Structures are given as structure tokens and as C-alpha cells.
């Protein structure tokens, strides 16, 4: 805009000077200026004509640590070359998709791919493809948008838990065992040749067509130890910042536990005490995993509901045969008492205790700030020991989560009443 005003000012001055003096050279400059400005206008005006463009994303759902790939295509269908084009896609992603400046000859086409790492969970928006062109002098500019906006959901990182097992619980009428059953369950494990007396609704027709004889499905007994997660998102109990914080560690732990249980065909429920108390009823399958991961992608440390209130409201939802896992950095012993009655109801319980002091110290060291005073650290460790003692009184398994260690090393199944502490 400033350059355009300067050109208008210079052109006005030349025009007035030419008519005032009658010098031929000044008229020549006036005509040359009109020719240059007119050419620049026409170049930008028709710079986007006969142009086809588009882009596509390779995914709209991903996990932290994966990459998002965008594929772009620009095609010039006319005979006039496009000397300068800029293509980019604005977005709210933590790492922006890179744009590109290019030129296209007559009947030419260019395609390229851009990749960006997904470094933070959340719900993001990728706007339509923006194309911009102009003249070499920068006097005029033309732009256009192509396509529709896309929503990209980045789920929390799911870590493998090779040594974690959901504790089995007793439930009348069934048990967790890989034995064959005559009853129909969701656990289809194998096929076998048809025998007289087998129900027709158990015939697996695709396998029968391949084997050229009737094949029927076999089932395992349904697993009983379903899972209910309680994720503490109260603002005042969180510590640390960025990826190494109690918030992100708790979300990763909840996501990893839920994914592992769903892979084992368990029913999983979730209670998150964020800005409002959010409850996802227990269910199994891919749709349930999408619900849980979608919620965990958006939660933040903005809760005002204490963990004890969330447990008092949520524990009555648990039925016999379930396992409750509490993920929290809170060292307030008031929330331990509601867990005491679970064993009498046939419900197992374990706690993923996030080490607030360790995450706070890690955050201070990463930012170059001095550590906490020794008396403050001693008070934190004293409160932590008191919390571990209170949980041990009710034979509750504790998994002590600290920064800088993989969850697969920290979430280790132990006997009831034991401590799964890895430092």
C-alpha cells in the first residue's frame, strides 16, 4: 500500500511537470509509467486465471509423535505462464504447514508434499488452500482460496505397557479364561469344521468358501475385569509445564491404559474432573476408543472439582467385576477413604500417583530456575510418604509415575497392596 501511494505521488508529479513545462522527455516518462503500471495490473489481474489447485491431508486423526502430510497440486491449463505464485494453508497447528513459492509454464503442473510433526494433542483447524500472486513491482496483488477447511484431531501419545495387566475380578457366571465356550460371546478366536448339532448362525461363510467345507466359529469366555479410569484435572494440584507435567503425564497414562484395555476387549469407562465433570459410560470397541481419545485430546488443567467429589459421584457407577484406576497428582488423603469400600463390592482398585515434586523440579531445571528450598522439598516428600501409607492401609496398588521414564517401565502389575515404584 505504501509503495502504491509512492507510485501515485510520483506519477502525479510527472504528469503536472510534463504539462507545465512541455518537455518531451517528461511526457515519455509519463507514457512509460502508464505502460508499466498497466502491465503490472494486468499481470496480477489475470495471474490466477486458468489455474487449478487442490490439496489433501493424509489423515484427520493422529497421535502425538506422528506426522501430518499434506499433498498439494497446482495446474496451469492456459497458454500464459504463471511467473510467480505463492501457495500455503493457514492452520492452528503447533507447527505450521510450510508454504511454497513457484512458477508454472504453459500447460504445466506441479505437485509436492509437506510434512509437519504433531507435537501437542488437541483439536486443530486447517484452513483452505490460499494462493497469492502479484506483479514484480509489488503494486497489485490477487489471491484466492481453494477447498474447504479440515479439522485435525491429535490424540495423546499411547505408550506400550508390556508388563501391565488388568487385575482379574470375580464375577458370577463368568471368568477371565481362554477356554472354549458353547455360548456366543464377543470373543471369536478360531474356526473349526462343522459338526452335527452346531448352530447355523455360527457358520463362518467366508472361511467355508475358502476351505470348501463348512466352518464354524469358536468363542472364548468373556473377560470380566473391565476398567474405569478417574483422571484428576483439578488446577491447583498440577505441577510442571509443557510435555513433562503432571497434566500431560496423567493424560498419557489414561490414554495408554484405556488403549491397552480396549485391545484386550475390555469395557472401559472414564471420569474426567476438568472444567466440568465429564463421564463416558463403560463400553468397548473402536467407537469407545475414539470417544475416550477425543476427550483426552481436549482436556486441560482447568478443573475446580476436588478428586474426592469426583470419586463420590463416580464410584456408584462401578459394578462388580470392574477395576478402578485413579490417575492423580493429589496428595490429599481425603480421596483415599471412598476407595476403601470397593473391595467389599468385588471391585479392584489401583492408583497412578504422579510425583508432583519431581515434575516441579524437572520444570524448574528445564527453565533454568533455582530449585525449591530444602524445607519445601521435605514437606512434599513427607506428604507423599503419608499418602503411600494411607493407600497401603487399604491394600491399594500404587504406580509411582516420575518424569523422564517410559510408562511401560513404571506401570508394572504387582500383587495387591504392593507398591510399583520405579525411580
Q: What is the mean pLDDT of residues 398-419?
A: 74
Of 174-183, 203-212, 331-340, 349-358, the poorest mean pLDDT is in 174-183
What whole-number distance in Å separates Cα of residue 72 and Cα of residue 95?
18
**pLDDT value for 118:** 93
- Tens of pLDDT, residue by residue over 126-144, are 999 999 887 766 677 788 8
- Tens of pLDDT, residue by residue over 209-241, are 988 899 988 765 455 568 999 999 999 899 888
Pull the grid cell for residue 356: 508432583
Q: Which residues contact 199 (CB under 8 A, 6 or more apart)?
A: 216
CB 327 within 8 A of CB 407: no
Q: What is the mean pLDDT of residues 169-184?
A: 48
Category of 346 on φ-ψ map: left (φ > 0), alpha (ψ -120 to 50) or beta:
left
The alpha carbon torsion through 219, 220, 225, 231 (nearest 10 deg) reads -50
What kind of fold does domain 51-155 have according to CATH? Immunoglobulin-like (2.60.40)
Which residue ranges make up each domain of the chain? 51-155, 180-220, 226-421
Q: Which of 303, 296, 315 is nearest to 256 (CA)?
A: 296
- Tens of pLDDT, residue by residue over 68-109, are 999 999 999 888 888 888 899 999 999 999 988 888 888 899
Task: Name the band, by pLDDT with cuts 50, 70 and 90, for residue 415.
Answer: very low
Please work out, in degrees rounded to the nearest 5, the angle formed at the alpha carbon of residue 12 by the alpha carbons of 10 and 13: 65
Q: What is the mean pLDDT of the chain?
A: 83
Q: Which of 264, 185, 253 is nearest to 219 (CA)?
A: 185
CB 303 within 8 A of CB 235: yes
CB 271 within 8 A of CB 230: yes
Question: Looking at domain 226-421, does it have CATH number 3.30.70?
Answer: no
Task: Name the band, by pLDDT with cuts 50, 70 and 90, for residue 67.
Answer: very high
What DSSP letter does each residue of 140-183 carry, written as one string?
-EEEEEES--EEEEEEPPPPP-TT--PPP--BTTB-S---EESS
Q: Where are the alpha helices (DSSP H) in 67-219?
A: 205-211
Q: Is residue 183's pLDDT more than 70?
A: no
- Tens of pLDDT, residue by residue over 257-308, are 999 999 888 889 999 988 888 999 988 888 899 999 999 999 998 888 899 9
Task: Name the band, by pLDDT with cuts 50, 70 and 90, for residue 319.
Answer: confident
Q: Which of 223, 222, 252, 225 is nearest to 166 (CA)?
A: 225
Q: Is residue 171's pLDDT more than 80?
A: no
Amino acid at each position: 500500500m505504501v509503495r502504491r501511494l509512492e507510485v501515485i505521488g510520483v506519477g502525479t508529479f510527472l504528469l503536472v511537470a510534463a504539462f507545465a513545462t512541455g518537455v518531451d522527455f517528461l511526457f515519455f516518462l509519463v507514457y512509460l509509467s502508464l505502460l508499466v503500471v498497466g502491465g503490472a495490473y494486468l499481470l496480477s489481474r489475470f495471474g490466477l486465471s486458468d489455474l487449478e489447485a487442490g490439496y489433501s491431508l493424509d489423515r484427520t486423526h493422529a497421535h502425538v509423535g506422528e506426522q501430518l502430510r499434506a499433498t498439494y497440486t497446482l495446474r496451469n491449463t492456459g497458454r500464459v505462464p504463471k511467473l510467480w505464485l505463492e501457495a500455503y494453508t493457514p492452520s492452528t497447528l503447533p507447527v505450521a504447514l510450510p508454504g511454497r513459492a513457484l512458477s508454472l509454464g504453459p500447460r504445466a503442473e506441479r505437485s509436492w508434499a509437506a510434512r509437519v510433526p504433531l507435537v501437542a494433542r488437541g483439536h486443530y483447524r486447517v484452513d483452505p488452500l490460499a494462493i497469492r500472486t502479484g506483479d514484480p513491482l509489488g503494486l497489485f496483488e490477487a489471491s484466492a482460496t481453494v477447498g474447504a477447511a479440515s479439522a485435525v484431531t491429535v490424540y495423546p501419545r499411547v505408550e506400550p505397557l508390556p508388563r501391565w495387566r488388568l487385575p482379574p475380578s470375580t464375577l458370577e457366571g463368568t471368568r477371565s479364561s481362554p477356554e472354549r465356550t458353547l455360548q456366543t460371546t464377543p470373543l471369536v478366536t478360531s474356526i473349526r469344521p462343522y459338526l452335527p448339532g452346531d448352530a447355523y448362525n455360527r457358520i463362518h461363510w467366508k472361511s467355508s468358501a475358502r476351505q470348501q467345507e463348512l466352518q464354524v466359529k469358536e468363542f472364548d469366555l468373556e473377560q470380566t475385569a473391565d476398567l474405569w479410569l478417574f483422571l484428576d484435572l483439578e488446577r491447583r494440584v498440577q505441577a510442571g509445564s509443557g510435555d513433562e507435567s503432571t497434566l500431560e503425564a496423567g493424560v498419557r497414562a489414561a490414554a495408554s491404559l484405556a488403549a491397552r484395555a480396549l485391545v484386550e476387549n475390555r469395557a472401559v469407562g472414564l471420569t474426567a474432573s476438568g472444567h466440568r465433570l465429564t463421564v463416558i459410560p463403560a463400553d468397548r470397541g473402536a467407537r469407545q476408543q475414539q470417544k475416550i481419545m477425543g476427550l483426552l485430546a481436549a482436556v486441560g488443567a482447568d478443573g475446580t472439582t476436588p478428586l474426592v467429589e469426583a470419586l463420590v459421584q463416580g464410584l456408584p457407577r462401578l459394578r462388580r467385576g470392574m477395576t478402578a484406576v485413579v490417575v492423580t497428582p493429589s496428595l490429599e488423603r481425603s480421596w483415599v477413604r471412598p476407595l476403601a469400600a470397593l473391595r467389599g463390592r468385588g471391585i479392584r482398585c489401583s492408583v497412578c500417583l504422579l510425583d508432583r515434586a519431581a515434575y516441579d523440579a524437572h520444570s524448574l531445571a528445564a527453565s533454568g530456575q533455582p530449585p525449591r528450598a530444602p524445607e519445601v522439598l521435605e514437606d512434599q516428600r513427607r506428604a507423599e510418604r503419608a499418602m503411600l501409607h494411607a493407600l497401603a492401609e487399604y491394600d491399594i496398588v500404587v504406580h509411582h509415575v516420575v518424569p523422564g521414564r517410559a510408562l511401560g517401565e513404571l506401570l508394572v502389575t504387582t500383587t495387591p497392596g504392593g507398591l510399583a515404584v520405579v525411580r
